Amino acid sequence: MADPVTSDRRTLYPAIEPYRSGMLEVGDGHSLYWELCGNPAGKPVVFLHGGPGGGSGPDHRRQFDPERYNILVFDQRGCGRSTPYASLEANTTWDLVADIERLREMVGVERWMVFGGSWGSTLSLAYAETHPERVTALVLRGIFLMGRLELDWLYRRGASEIYPDKWEDFVGLIPEEERDDLVAAYQRRLTSDDPLVRVEAAKAWSRWEAETVTLLPSDEVVNHFTSDDVAVAIARIENHYMIRGGWLEEGQLLRDVGRLRHIPAVIVQGRHDSCTPPAAAWALHKAWPEAELNIVPDGGHLFNEPGILDGLIRATDALADRI
């Protein structure tokens, strides 16, 4: 892969609109928003957004050549345009894995490429390890394996050493006597019967994440993460997953990666990612040496940072020729 610093960087494909969209009832009272974009006869790919609870946006569909790909984008349970909003009921990793299979059957394809970043990389691995026969290729960004060390990095000690001022704001909402377990302390507030308490906690939780995901400070990202229609879903659903370790056994995704080693894969990881640090991407690559690892030297966490985006577009272009 070309050096992302010295070469001309690739960027998003032109804006496109879905050629089909709708809602899919998946049971348990949940209905998922989905859309299909690009070429109906193209190579099928499913895009898995981050969070959990982050939802999808128009730029996500632009990471693929619309002439060569048939692109499914959807909002996972409880977020984006899916309903019920911010619901925690019947909302687990394995519910989402089952939803991806329902969507594949709805589209009518036997196999497809799986593309996911951040939490989307976690879900991509969980899905692919469960259904390797359904996966033609994987593109993964900002690897998050839902391990204890990764959770401690974000919510005990790690990122707090890089952003001590922002960390002080994050812990400031929680009384001293509850700070030994911030995830549990926030859960109590995010599930409070008082909507004002829920919103205050959601904005603090989401702001902390927003501060860690960009290489340089971005008011635009912080404002998006802390807006009323985004913060509550991100905070409630993320917290719900993290306090339970994503319903994964410790080390499970690395343990089971042998099921994927025959599948073409590209990992794009920012060297300076303070949300999902490169150690997880490196561990995944060590367990899966056949996967191409592109560590972007001037990259943070978000998909639309120049070096990260360059790596992702190059990956989807290259895999369009291979699968």
Per-residue pLDDT for the chain (323 aa), expressed as one digit of tens each? Answer: 445 454 699 999 999 999 999 999 999 999 999 999 999 999 999 999 999 999 999 999 999 999 999 999 999 999 999 999 999 999 999 999 999 999 999 999 999 999 999 999 999 999 999 999 999 999 999 999 999 999 999 999 999 999 999 999 999 999 999 999 999 999 999 999 999 999 999 999 999 999 999 999 899 999 999 998 899 999 999 999 999 999 999 999 999 999 999 999 999 999 999 999 999 999 999 999 999 999 999 999 999 999 999 999 999 999 999 88
Instruction: Go through the chain and tell me how many residues it has.
Output: 323
**Which residues participate in catalysis according to the annotation?**
118, 273, 301
Residue with tokens 């974000």: 154
* b (16+ CB within 10 A) / e for 277-308: bbbbbebbbebbeebbbbbbeebbbbbbbbbb
Residue 83 DSSP one-character state: B
Helix (H, G, I), strand (E, B) or coil at 290: coil
Choose among 143, 81, 77, 134: nearest CA to 116.
143
Whole-angstrom distance, CA of residue 85 vs CA of residue 13? 30
- Amino acid 26 reads V
- What is the sign of the dihedral through the CA atoms of 241, 233, 208 and 308? positive
Whole-angstrom distance, CA of residue 191 vs CA of residue 203? 14
Please give the helix or strand (H or E) that residue 311 lies within, else none: helix 306-322
Q: Which class for 111: exposed (0-12), middle (13-18), buried (19 or more C-beta within 10 A)?
A: middle
Whole-angstrom distance, CA of residue 92 vs CA of residue 257? 21
Reading the block at residue 166, the tokens are: 């922002």
The model carries a pTM of 0.96
Query: Domains plus CATH for the chain?
Result: 20-147+248-322 (3.40.50.1820), 151-246 (no CATH)
Helix (H, G, I), strand (E, B) or coil at 262: coil
Reading the block at residue 167, the tokens are: 């960390």
Choose among 84, 86, 93: nearest CA to 30.
84
Other beta carbons within 10 Å of 151:
17
